[in-house]
Chain A
């Protein structure tokens, strides 16, 4: 069975600090996909990134970066120079390829960025 663990529940930082959100996953599949979603107070889940299990290259997008390490089954997300607008709940999710590509979500991490 698939499982996603986000051990951190709440993180509070001051603006301009860097922050890393941890994600550990479990799956028996050799092919799988990992995602990060952001859920601001408005409630809508916003897609941030998709990574397949064969691509371990780290990715950077502006202030966001992702570190995928298959050896430790982790897919961590770092926000550099955090801003108040980054305050949200962040979910890591896992899916298999195929007709049933449902997402298995972690419990989410509430990030608060204080001015």
Chain B
């Protein structure tokens, strides 16, 4: 079974530029997550999708970050314009589903390491 795929693996941009990340979850996984992991810290949830609907985007800086999951499969996360403090690893994860009184394990992709200069 293929894992969660992400691209690109690395990206270097200047501040105020825009950038987009792509994620393809494990086949059949209804729930998709984007996390931000700043160096030396644990991942922090940015946005959670259930199929193509947003479940939680409370920690997404909506003035500069946006995400979509068209057709309930692939997802893209965009930053426009980028700031220095956006330098981090952006992790995509998927799980079979969420809800139903349980919490399913999330499977993570390799991440995209973003450096903003």
Residues of A within 8 A of B (CB): 4, 31-33, 35, 37, 42-47, 50, 52, 91, 93, 95-103, 105-108
Contact = CB atoms under 8 A, between A and B. Distances in A.
Given A101-B103, A102-B33, 12 more contacts: A33-B102, A35-B105, A43-B110, A43-B111, A47-B107, A91-B43, A98-B98, A100-B48, A100-B55, A100-B98, A101-B99, A108-B41
A45 B9 CA distance: 14
A contact face: mostly helix, strand, loop, or mixed: loop
B113 interface: yes
B103 A105 contact: no
15 contacts: A32-B103, A35-B105, A44-B109, A45-B91, A50-B103, A91-B43, A96-B103, A98-B98, A98-B103, A99-B55, A101-B103, A103-B43, A103-B45, A105-B43, A107-B41
Size category, B interface: 20 to 34
B89 interface: yes
